[in-house]
């Protein structure tokens, strides 16, 4: 597919910041950019469910639902605005939990070359490249060095750092790598932390409805007023919200949950209840992890692989609960069936984290 001038041209107000989101996913990074004052005019996302979610929540952005390798050209009328190209290429191959494909032989690990193809094409004023922390470590830093060199070869001054989402108000310990390139030669410092204490799981869960295992009713009212500041912000003026869907686990799995205290995992389950596992001692530490209510969550990733457990209910997390742990507001709705919704949330950049990266370079906009 070629995006031509007739169907892709965008005009924005002079003096503003406009953005192009590559590998956009459901739009978490775009949402943070918008909170920071960036008008995101184009987004490219291959997954049809994520693209549907993006369109629904970012109705003013033109979304290209296409493999980025098949998009030859986009035309953008800057009209005096500064252009920011940003995005996070697929990161499964760089994840520390994915050792089998964490190498240069995995073709998906080279998709970030498409990011720099678009940078070269669009010649933006600023670029923001996001990925998992593992990109620094994979194959002795080979991919990290390639990213930095690619920016420098395109005449950008580069700043790079790892940020923990919990330092910026996100109720989740999630470390992300950012590399920022400035065409104007600006060297950016790591964004200062915005909180003096971490936001907890309890603060973002306590007003949400109690749900059964396998909950299948998406639209639900809240069970009580929001007490914490973060819950009030994420909830806004809504009386009901969507995405209260929970994976239906077998009675055998639910029985295992009952043995696990907050902060515990599969190790707390009596051996006789784990007979279906060939080698129990090889279980990943994240399996059957029950969240601690008075701490931020562990990283939200693959729902079915991690099997994170609600802190005080014997079930997995709902899509909305996981979305709150990522700092998505409740008006933000995820589309598709439960599996695609879970994948979209797990793959997202927390909007609050994204916001604070973009605030280094743009005017402030209220959360």
Return all residues near 250 (Cβ < 8 A) that are at least 6 apart: none
Write the DSSP assignment of 35-72 as a string of letters. Answer: HTTEEEEEEE---HHHHHHHHHH-TTSEEE-S-GGG--
Active site residue 91: yes
Helices 142-153 and 112-122: crossing angle in degrees, nearest 10, is 10
Check 91, 204, 300, 322 and give the catalytic one.
91
Residue environment code for 7-46, b if the CB has 16+ CB neighbours within 10 A, otherwise e: ebebebeeebbbbbbbbbbbbbbbbbbbbbbbbbbbbbbb
Tokens for 284, please give them. 């990943």
How many alpha carbons fall within 13 Å on the CB side of residue 232? 5
Distance CA 22, CA 42 (A): 8
Residues annotated as catalytic are: 91
């Amino acid at each position: 597919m070629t995006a031509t001038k007739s169907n892709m041209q965008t005009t924005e107000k002079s003096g503003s910041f406009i953005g192009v989101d590559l590998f956009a996913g459901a739009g978490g990074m775009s949402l943070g950019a918008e909170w920071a004052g960036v008008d995101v005019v184009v987004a490219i996302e291959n997954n049809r469910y994520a693209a549907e979610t993006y369109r629904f929540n970012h109705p003013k952005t033109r979304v290209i639902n296409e493999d980025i390798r098949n998009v030859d050209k986009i035309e953008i009328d800057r009209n005096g605005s500064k252009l920011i190209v940003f995005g996070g290429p697929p990161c499964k191959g760089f994840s520390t939990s994915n050792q089998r494909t964490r190498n240069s032989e995995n073709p998906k690990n080279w998709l970030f070359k498409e990011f720099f193809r678009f940078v070269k094409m669009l010649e933006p004023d600023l670029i923001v490249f996001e990925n998992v922390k593992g990109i620094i470590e994979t194959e002795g830093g080979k991919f990290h060095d390639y990213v930095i060199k690619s920016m420098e070869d395109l005449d950008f001054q580069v700043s790079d750092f790892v940020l923990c989402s919990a330092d910026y108000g996100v109720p989740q310990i999630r470390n992300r790598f950012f590399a920022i390139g400035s065409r104007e030669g600006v060297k950016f410092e790591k964004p200062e932390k915005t909180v003096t204490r971490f936001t907890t799981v309890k603060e973002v869960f306590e007003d949400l409805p109690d749900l059964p295992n396998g909950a299948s009713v998406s639209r639900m009212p809240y069970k009580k007023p929001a007490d914490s500041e973060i819950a009030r912000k994420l909830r806004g003026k809504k009386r009901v919200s969507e995405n209260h869907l929970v994976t239906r686990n077998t009675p055998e799995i639910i029985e295992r949950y009952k043995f696990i205290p907050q902060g515990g995992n599969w190790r707390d389950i009596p051996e006789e209840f784990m007979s279906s596992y060939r080698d129990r001692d090889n279980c990943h530490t994240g399996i059957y992890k029950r969240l601690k209510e008075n701490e931020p969550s562990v990283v939200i990733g693959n729902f079915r692989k991690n099997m994170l457990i609600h802190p005080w209910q014997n079930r997995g997390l709902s899509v909305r609960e996981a979305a709150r742990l990522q700092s998505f507001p409740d008006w933000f709705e995820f589309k598709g069936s439960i599996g695609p919704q879970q994948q979209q949330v797990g793959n997202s950049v927390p909007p609050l984290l994204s916001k604070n990266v973009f605030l280094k370079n743009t005017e402030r906009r209220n959360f």
